[in-house]
Structures are given as C-alpha cells and as structure tokens.
Amino acid sequence: MDQRTVLRLAAEVPDRDGFPLVDDLHARFAALAAAHPDRVTVTRIGTSRLGEPLHSHRIGSGSHAAVIVGGVHPNEPIGSWTALHLATWLLEDPETAATLDTTWHIVPTIDPDGMRLNEAWFRDPHDRVHYARHFYRPAPDSQVEWTFPNSHGSVYFDRVLPETLAFMRLIDDTRPDLLVSLHNGEMGGVYYYLSEDLPDVIDTLHAVPTALGLPLDTGEPESPYLRELAPAVFAMDGVEAAYDYLVGLGIDPAEHIHGGSSAAWAARHGTLCMVAELPYWSHPDADDQTPTDESYADLLRRSADALAASGAELQAVLDEASPMLTIATPFLEASRAFVPMLAGIADTDRARADREPVDRTATVAERFGCEDLVRCFRLRYGGMLLRALEAETAAGTASAPLRRLRDRLAQQYAAWQADEAAGAEPIPIRTLVGVQFGAVLACASHVSGPHRASRPSLATSLTGGA
C-alpha cells in the first residue's frame, strides 16, 4: 500500500460524535461479527477483574499477523473508534485490505472496567474542564499497559493483572509481526513511538497528520530520556534507558519503574511495535519553536515548583481525609498512587534542571508543554481525589469533617479549572481517528512489504504510567 493510498483512506474516516460507551462499542463489534460470520472469528481471550469477558476479533487470512488493542489506558478512547473503523474497513473494502496480506486480531478495549469509569465525559469530550472532572486513570500497578512482567536491576514486577494476562496470551498465541497499542494524549500535537528506525514508515507517520491538518508535537517530550528517531517520533528503547537515566540523576529507579509494557513483551517475537499519541485539543503554542526569554533550566525549576505546590495541596487533603474514608474505590487507589507521584516528578525535574546548560533557551513549545503538564496533572488527579471523596458523600458515609474537606478541595479545584489554558481548540474526532488509522496502515504496509525479510529481536518498551 503506497503513501497516497494511506492518506486517502485516512481522510475518508467518517464524522464521529463523542466516544462510544463500552456496551455500545461491544454491540457494534458484535453486529459486525453477526453480519459477517464467515469472515469474523470472535475468540474469548480472558476475563476482566470485574468479570467481563474479553474478546479478540480475527479478520482476514493474510500471512502476517497484526494485534490491535484498544483501551490499554481507559481514559484514552480515540482507539475505540480506530479499532471499530479498522474492522469495518477490512470487511467493507476487502480488495484493498488484501494488499496488506495480514490477519488482524482486534481487541476493542482490554480494560472495560476502567473505561466505564470515564464514560461520564465520553458524550461530551470537547470541554477539558468537564473531561478532567470526570476523569479516571488507574494507578500504575493497575494499568494493563504497565503490568507486564519486568526484571531489571533493582526493579522486579510480577503482579500481572487478569487483563494483562489475556493480552500476553494473545501476543504469544499470534506471534504478531505488528503490535499497535492504541493510546492518546491530551493537548498539543501528534507524536509517535516506534520500535525500529524505519524511514519509510516515519515518512508516512509525518505525512498523515500534515495531510489532515494536525501539527507534530515538537515541544517537551513525554519523558526526558527519550531518543528521537525523527521529529515527534521516539524510539522504544526499553526500561533500561529509563533506569540508567534515573540512576544518573541519583534517583532510585524502583520508585518510578514497575511493570513492563506490551511492546517489551512482544519483543521476544521480533514484533514491530507502534504507538500513535494524539491530542484532544490543539494549541498554537504546542509546536512554536520561537525562543523565549527564559532558560530551559529555569523553566524546569519553575514548573517543578508549581507541580510540587499542587501536589502538596492534594496530599494534605488526602492525608487529612484518609482516616475518615471507608470505601475502597478505584479513585482512592489511584489518588494514593498519583498524588505522591507529583512530588517525585518535581524532584526529578529539579535534578535534571541542574544538569542543563545555563545558556540553553526554552522554546515557546517547551514552555507550553511544561506549564500545561502542571495544569493537566492537577486537573486529572484533583478530579479523581474529588471523586473518591464524593463516593463517601453519595453513599451517606461521609462525616461532617469529611464533607467540609470535600468542599475545600472543590473550591481549590474550581480555581485550577479557571486557570485552564486559553486558546485551546478541540480537534474533530474523525481527524484523530484518521491519524491513528493511517499510522496503523503505514506500519502494516511496511510489515507486509518485500523489504522486511526478517524480524529482529529487540528489547523494546515504552516507559510511563502517569
């Protein structure tokens, strides 16, 4: 499949209104399977922690295998539409799909339990304040993407979740040539992770968002140790890179690194792995390379101080509330993981600021990225802590002091909401799905091409969890 075809198909993604709820998503896939019983094979691959069946949908009979998994982070539903659009296209345009010579294994969402806790904002995803107020992201040790077995240096992790086990089995059963874990970000531009440096793929990864009118994210990278293969395309260098970076800063890696990723697990099969990270909102500063009048080191310190201050406010509320909390909600579990993490991120940023050249000037994009990370994290994790306190008030178990504490946090949260970035614009969902769909096709085209004679074994891994 040539680049022109990829761009055409990416541009043909239909309009979408909001994101599908879990039951709706499953019903749409069930309808596809019922309409094409001879072309869709549904296989149960596992069971969620709350007892929901997890299914993979096999479409096609090509000589290459591709695994496409949505909902690996349940607050990232762009992949729900991407998975559904991919499955629909495979069934409606079999001649073009056959040029990829691929058997597709598509999982609509691997964490339906977590995704249901985000459904309150799925119908209206364009308002960032509304989104954050109803946000849920599991604690790192409860994230499917980050609970694969991991052992490196002082880090050891084997608390594999049932959903992760299902994901592992699917990878090992199919030994895929291609694995796409469907993620997305929040604000800014498009960026990618790729397990191999592939100029032909990267060229198309750049071309797709350009053709659809989205900028590449050229500001502050998600992690400071990432190796850039090309603008906005980062290598999956594995947990070793994160580990060595933290050791170099004098920070205990075991405090920040836990489980491994799906890409690391798939590396044993020589799988090409790709992640397309897409924002819900764009901002003109996100790709502005104009120098500012602030040094990069000072920007890091200033942002670290702001993040630490927000974290301290949330930690004070959490500490005061903890003796009065009686309901072990997922929101509370996540709050107890993420709120202390804010202070840890601030400490890391201060440590790396001390190693930055004093004459390096921050760009507008870097400044926006650092400042927006503070806004993002305090809205995300302040919202989740509020949901934990509200679970007690809704159940009638909140004492008078706990209700007052909830009101105090709500007042602070309202001030953070008022400080939301001006100038942010929601991106049409069809554009976001088009970029992700185009990126999948670009990688599948490479895998099925004659130039990919063998699959190297790479120790690859994304790093993260926040």
pLDDT at 451: 62
For residue range 187-201, what is the model confidence (pLDDT) as tens digits? 888 999 999 999 999
pLDDT at 161: 96
- Give Cα separations from 167 to 185, 259, 434, 462 (angstroms): 22, 14, 25, 16
Pseudo-torsion of CA 302, 405, 116, 440, nearest 10°?
0
317/305 Cα distance (integer angstroms)? 19
Pseudo-torsion of CA 220, 221, 222, 224, nearest 10°?
-100
Domain ranges of the chain: 3-283+425-448, 289-418
446/1 Cα distance (integer angstroms)? 9
For residue range 449-458, what is the model confidence (pLDDT) as tens digits? 876 654 443 3
What's the token pair of residue 333? 């579990």
For residue range 85-98, what is the model confidence (pLDDT) as tens digits? 999 999 999 999 99
Torsion over CA: 261, 115, 434, 428 (sign):
negative
Instruction: Specify the pTM.
Output: 0.91
In the chain, pLDDT over 90 holds for what percent of residues? 76
DSSP string of 262-331, one letter each residue: HHHHHGGGT-EEEEEE--SEE-GGGG---EEEEEHHHHHHHHHHHHHHHHHHHHHHHHHHGGG-----HH
For residue range 190-229, what is the model confidence (pLDDT) as tens digits? 999 999 999 999 999 999 999 999 988 887 777 778 899 9
Query: Residue 266 pLDDT > 70, yes or no?
Result: yes
3-state helix, strand, coil in the chain (%, to 5): 50, 15, 35
pLDDT at 452: 60
**Which amino acid is located at 158 in the chain?**
D
Query: Residue 253 pLDDT > 70, yes or no?
Result: yes
Q: Tell me if 3-283+425-448 shares its fold with 289-418.
A: no
42/47 Cα distance (integer angstroms)? 14
State the architecture of 289-418 in CATH terms.
Up-down Bundle (1.20)
Question: Three-class SS of residue 17?
Answer: coil
CATH class as words, domain 3-283+425-448: alpha beta
Question: Three-class SS of residue 104?
Answer: strand
Distance linking the first and last C-alpha atoms of the chain: 36
